[in-house]
Amino acid sequence: MLKIYNTLAREKQIFTPIIAGKVSMYVCGMTVYDYCHLGHARVMVVFDMVSRWLRASGYDVNYVRNITDIDDKIIKRANENGETIGQLTQRFIDAMDEDSEKLGVIRPNLEPRATEYVDGMIQMIAALIEKGFAYVAANGDVFYSVNNFEGYGKLSGKSLEDLRAGERVEVDTHKKDPMDFVLWKSVKPNEPSWASPWGNGRPGWHIECSAMSSHLLGEHFDIHGGGQDLQFPHHENEIAQSEAAHSHDGKPCQMVNYWMHNGFVRVDDEKMSKSLGNFFTIRTVLEKYDAEVVRFFILRAHYRSPLNYSDKHLDDAKLALTRLYTALRGHVVTDIAIDWQHPQAARFKEAMDDDFNTPEAMAVLFDLANEVNKTKAVEAASLLKSLAGVLGLLQRDANDFLQGSPIVASLNTTLEPLTGGLGSDSYTELMIKKRTQAKQEKNFAESDRIRKELADAGIILEDSPQGTTWRRA
RNA sequence: GGCGCGAUAGCAAAGCGGUUAUGCCGCGGCCUGCAAAGCCGUUUAGACCAGUUCGACUCUGGUUCGCGCCUCCA
């Protein structure tokens, strides 16, 4: 029985879908004006893991992750670059797709773009005005009136009173209440705009998710996810918009049953964020680390815990993943359905059902690796690979990982790994043959010299009764 | 200031009111020509102070420290 920590309730709750056997899930995706950083990687990987586990549990999952392709920063960046907004956003959507594919993220069922749903947003804003939850200000902007929505603050646990006390931003004089937020911004020079009953303009940020989620998943759906920083104000405002717009006879309509928020990626114990400038893009990290190592690193922590990024931690993750692949090496495993009655599989399931406890699930993987190493049983190896597959890990051939192309940036430039020189696959194979011969002749000095030479080039040799194998450090 | 989260061994990171987490590192042994890998064993825990309990890392209260949200942010 799956339990999910529901931000709305501030506790783990048994997951019951609205429609038996089906799950509708919406996750706030990226604003595409720059490359994705590791914080974005975490959202993508975490909710990919969630959708995989829901599917492995037998649910028919409809997973929607939106793309924000119209926003202040996008407009600004496009202007700076002298390119159109469409060019800019498409470029970074393509980059995002590349990054997420490398990280083993299965594409969501739908990836709606905000600009494709402006009509829906306008309709929703009109409904909000009609029902008395929004008003047109003197400057032509349309604002949401937080005072008229009784449940405002229920997700973030904030009261309007507290929020006003903590007000740090210059108050927009067009607002009736400082906490009111914009639904529609009237057009400004050199900005894209759409026609609306309130004049030309463009949507505010929050309204897009309300419009897209209700259009694609309905007024009431199962799971809504995103980074912890979206809890307030973004998700709070989504609830206010959706539940008010979909209210019937003055009664709000519940928007989402389970709200999920993943923890931040940190650098030196500080949140990784664009504003702090302490972020690492996914592609920068992938220059140095295998994408599966990054995925492993992310899933190694519980999704709600903070995750500290550093080279040391990635190195550690790499060694740990190497242990798992080493256990799988040499086994020809066939894809078989997981027997969830198996003690280790049951333990894995229990961990995942407990609010997606991937660290505990991974401990099962390591215990299985130990069993594989001890017994050489192909059944154990198959189970290891299958269970890891549920997390999107360990699906490559073991040698592809262990002998994987050296990461160029970390290579000594005098080596020629790709052209047959020291450090290359072919040179390694050649030297292994020479060394095997030397060993047969009991010429251990030569054999050790070769091993040392390769070791210095990052190639580790491992002798066994079946011959010598190699891997990259 | 308001609201919230956290503090576990050298590092990372979980569960659990009493029984080995797990990975990396360290140490000892087995294996090996020697290594590596693997296997076996093993040293380092639960910020601090009280309380509840036969028994607390685990529950309760307090203290200290760290972090996050309250402004765009995954």
Percent of chain A, pLDDT > 70? 95
For residue A242, name the pLDDT band (cuts at 50, 70, 90).
very high
How many angstroms separate the CA of A384 from the C1' of B20? Answer: 21
Question: Residue A411: what pLDDT?
Answer: 42
What CATH number does residue A404 fall under? 1.20.120.640
For residue A406, name the pLDDT band (cuts at 50, 70, 90).
low
How many angstroms separate the CA of A321 from the C1' of B67? Answer: 29
Count of residues making up chain A: 473
Question: Residue A365: what pLDDT?
Answer: 98
Q: Are residues A100 and A161 in the same domain?
A: yes
Q: Are residues A52 and A191 in the same domain?
A: yes
Q: Are residues A253 and A319 in the same domain?
A: no
Q: Which nucleotide is nearest to A232 (CA to C1')?
A: B69
Residue A177 pLDDT > 60:
yes
Pairing of strands A270-271, A307-309: unpaired
Give the span between the Cα atoms of A428 and A449, in whole angstroms.
13
**Is there a contact between A285 and A38 (Cβ–Cβ < 8 Å)?**
yes
Structural domain boundaries, residue A110: 3-262
Q: Which of the 8 DSSP states describes residue A68?
A: B
Residue A418 pLDDT > 60:
no
Task: Count Cβ atoms below 10 Å from residue A183 Cβ, excluding itself.
Answer: 29
- Residue A75 tokens read as 């407009």
Which nucleotides of chain B are near protein (any atom < 7 Å from a CB)?
A: 1-5, 11-16, 21-25, 32-40, 66-74
- Residue A329 tokens read as 């090496």
Q: Are residues A96 and A202 in the same domain?
A: yes
Question: Residue A172: what pLDDT?
Answer: 66
Mean pLDDT of A47-62: 98
How many angstroms separate the CA of A249 from the C1' of B70? Answer: 33
Give the total number of structural domains in chain A. 2
Question: Residue A410: what pLDDT?
Answer: 41
Q: Are residues A108 and A242 in the same domain?
A: yes
Q: Helix, strand or coil for residue A223?
A: strand
Pairing of strands A22-27, A221-227: parallel
∠ CA(A105), CA(A320), CA(A453), 5° rounding?
110
How many angstroms separate the CA of A367 from the C1' of B54? Answer: 35
Q: Which amino acid is at A137?
A: A
Give the span between the Cα atoms of A23 and A118, in whole angstroms.
26
Any domain includes A304: no
The tens digit of pLDDT for each residue in A202-218 reads 999 999 999 999 999 99
Any domain includes A437: no
How many angstroms separate the CA of A408 from the C1' of B5? Answer: 40
Residue nearest to nucleotide B5 (CA to C1'): A305
Domain end call among A418, A439, A467: A418
Q: Point out which residues pair with A135 in neighbouring strands.
A: A143
Question: Residue A168: what pLDDT?
Answer: 61
The tens digit of pLDDT for each residue in A86-101 reads 999 999 999 999 999 9
Residue A407 pLDDT > 90:
no
Q: Are residues A155 and A43 in the same domain?
A: yes
Question: Residue A171: what pLDDT?
Answer: 62
Residue A111 pLDDT > 90:
yes
Q: Which nucleotide is nearest to A321 (CA to C1')?
A: B23
- Residue A332 tokens read as 């020809």
How many angstroms separate the CA of A268 from the C1' of B11? Answer: 14
**Is there a contact between A38 and A266 (Cβ–Cβ < 8 Å)?**
no
For residue A297, name the pLDDT band (cuts at 50, 70, 90).
very high
Alpha-helical (H) ranges within A376-424 are 378-390, 398-402
For residue A163, name the pLDDT band (cuts at 50, 70, 90).
confident
Question: Residue A173: what pLDDT?
Answer: 73
For residue A466, name the pLDDT band (cuts at 50, 70, 90).
confident
**Is there a contact between A179 and A236 (Cβ–Cβ < 8 Å)?**
no
How many angstroms separate the CA of A281 from the C1' of B44? Answer: 36
Mean pLDDT of A180-191: 94
For residue A419, name the pLDDT band (cuts at 50, 70, 90).
low
Mean pLDDT of A451-470: 93
Q: Which residues of A198-230 are buried (b: 16+ CB within 10 A; e: fewer)?
A: beebbbbbbbbbbbbbbbbbebbbbbbbbbeeb
Q: Point out which residues pair with A31 in neighbouring strands.
A: A68
Q: Are residues A159 and A253 in the same domain?
A: yes
Please count the CA atoms within 13 angstroms of the CA of A144 that sit on its side-chain side.
Answer: 29
Q: Which nucleotide is nearest to A460 (CA to C1')?
A: B36
Residue nearest to nucleotide B72 (CA to C1'): A275
- Residue A400 tokens read as 């592809």
Q: Are residues A40 and A171 in the same domain?
A: yes
Q: Are residues A60 and A207 in the same domain?
A: yes
For residue A399, name the pLDDT band (cuts at 50, 70, 90).
very high
| CA end-to-end span of chain A | 41
Any domain includes A246: yes
- Residue A356 tokens read as 């997606």
Any domain includes A158: yes
Q: Are residues A238 and A348 in the same domain?
A: no
Mean pLDDT of A356-363: 97
What CATH number does residue A192 fall under? 3.40.50.620
Any domain includes A441: no
- Residue A33 tokens read as 């004006």
Q: Give pTM, 2 decimals.
A: 0.95
In sequence order, the 6+-apart residues with CB closer than 8 A to the CB of A373 are A327
* Summary mean pLDDT of chain A: 93
The tens digit of pLDDT for each residue in A308-337 reads 999 999 999 999 999 999 999 989 887 789
Q: Are residues A256 and A322 in the same domain?
A: no
- Residue A158 tokens read as 């904030």
Any domain includes A126: yes
Of residues A411 and A455, the one with the higher pLDDT is A455
Task: Count Cβ atoms below 10 Å from residue A397 Cβ, excluding itself.
Answer: 11
Give the span between the Cα atoms of A195 and A206, in whole angstroms.
19
Mean pLDDT of A60-77: 96
Q: Are residues A41 and A184 in the same domain?
A: yes
Of residues A259 and A173, the one with the higher pLDDT is A259
Any domain includes A389: yes
Question: Residue A405: what pLDDT?
Answer: 64
Percent of chain A, pLDDT > 90? 86
Q: Phi/psi at A217 (nearest 5 deg)?
A: -120, -10
